[in-house]
Amino acid sequence: MTVDSFREYLQKLEAEDQLTRIEEPVSWNLEASAITMLANEHDDKIPLFESNETESAQLAGDPYRGSQRRPWDRIALGMGMPPDVSRREFYEMTIDRLQDPRGPESVSASDAPCKEVVNTDDVDLLDYPWPYIHSGDGGRYSNLHTLVAPDPDSDWVDWSYHRTMIHDSETASVLLLAGEQTPNLYYYKYERRDEPMPVAIVVGAEPAVQFSSVMWIPTGRSEVEFAGGLKGSPIELVPCETNDLMVPATAEMVIEGEIVPNARRDEGPFGDYFGYMHGPRRSMPALEVTAITHQKRPIVPFCVEGTGVGYTENSTSSMEIGCVGPDATLGLRAGGFDIDLCVPWQSTPRTVYVISTNSTSPGYLHELANFIFTTWGMLHVDFFVFVDADVDPLDQRAVLESLALHADPDEDFHQFGVETMPKVPLNIYQTPSEKGNVQTGTSKAKTAKAYIDATRGEDEAPDPTVEDVDTRYWAQTLLTDAGANADHLQFIDPGETGR
């Protein structure tokens, strides 16, 4: 069953008793994010804040945050998958859908919910409750949306995911880090030609659109077509009011504008996905707003970054596991590599990835690592762990066991030089002087990238197991002797539950 809008997704959450409506007024100033953070930490329901200072819009806190044991589960719900889908089934179903992209369809403005309210004259960003998320943030943010921007030299339009800090009624700054697709369009095409880049920020897009915008879709390929594949039907698009871009018709809100050349506004600090306050405050490209269209009382989703580190989930950590993982798996298979799965590490999903593979020769793994770091760029991820195909990369305990048993600190830890790879300036280990070229938002110096070979190796036998003990038989015997009813035993797969 398809999910056609963000509102329909929230209704499905509510039908599954996974959403709580908060009718009492809640402030956008830290209060909404604090409640959302507590919900994240306690694995509670998704909060929908129906009342705030502006009353012009509602807020949804971390709507795509998965459960701590099944971080992919609400991503699956947003794609209309069965609620009990396993991790591996979810990966394979998502990969199958990515291999069946579907082109979008155009609809008239009269049929588009995002056109219920159209404002092209006295636009005012401050009419809406953009949240102040962390007490040390540089300002209020929209940080769970899709940014639409066109390539000036082709028909390709990139749909991506870049946080935006609100400055005043008509301007904002956008985090554009060179090396990523949309920033490259701006810095190396539009700005060099002294031309503004037309953009649309789609707030509260239908789930498949949001999911595709965080994936590693190759340059020149249409994210909206892959979103159609994820959804299982075409995405309906409608024209913008002040530029030629097409945007999802069921969006909660669309902010139209242009990112002007050679103009900067302050951005940050911001409590980032690493779990730390990212700084220093830096200059980022300036967005000038030309129109705002939206549904009546739109719902503005936001993410409390930083709560997805180590012990809990948030929207972006769940989307990294549930969206980027299957996409990366498909990309490596398409590159000709013998890949079982490529999985972001659940505790810190943008810093470590795990890849399971049948081909474990040192030369093959080095070629694979080099392909990843040089072809994909991998600006965020610092290192990969390679494990055998019979090790489930989705099971963190199994991966740690492989590291402990098979990764020789002398022979199996490999680094691609000290300063050979590009890096975004977000890591906590980077000093302020390393963080940046203010013109392109990248690290001054390049960084090391590394991989760990935690495979058994071609000549090493599989791990020994205790084959002469029937564990289930002995468990039943012991419990029966203790007076338990062995017929009612439930044997739980720890890899499936996360235990």
Strand pairing report for 339-344 and 352-357: antiparallel
Query: What percentage of the chain reaches a pLDDT higher than 70?
Result: 85
At 419, the pLDDT band (50, 70, 90 cuts) reads: low
Q: How many residues comprise the chain?
A: 499
Q: How far apart are CA 330 and CA 198, in angstroms?
A: 31
Reported as a single tens digit per residue, the pLDDT across 349-377 is 778 899 999 999 999 999 999 888 877 65
Task: Compute φ and ψ for 198, nearest 5 degrees.
Answer: -65, 140
Higher pLDDT, 37 or 379: 37
Residue 495, pLDDT > 50, answer: no
Cis before 280? omega within 30: yes
Strand pairing report for 171-174 and 164-166: antiparallel
Query: What percentage of the chain reaches a pLDDT higher than 90?
Result: 72
Average pLDDT, the chain: 88
Query: Can you give the pLDDT at residue 473?
Result: 44
Quick one: tokens of 112?
């588009």
- pTM of the predicted model, to two decimals? 0.89
Q: How far apart are CA 256 and CA 123, in angstroms?
A: 10
Reported as a single tens digit per residue, the pLDDT across 149-171 is 999 999 999 999 999 999 999 99
Q: Tokens 């008239």 label which residue?
A: 108
Residue 421, pLDDT > 70, answer: no
Q: In what order do the strands lie in the sheet with 236-239?
A: 105-106, 236-239, 246-248
Query: Can you give the pLDDT at residue 466?
Result: 47
Residue 303, pLDDT > 80, answer: yes
Residue 434, pLDDT > 80, answer: no
For the ranges 13-17, 188-192, 280-284, 319-323, which has the lowest average pLDDT? 280-284
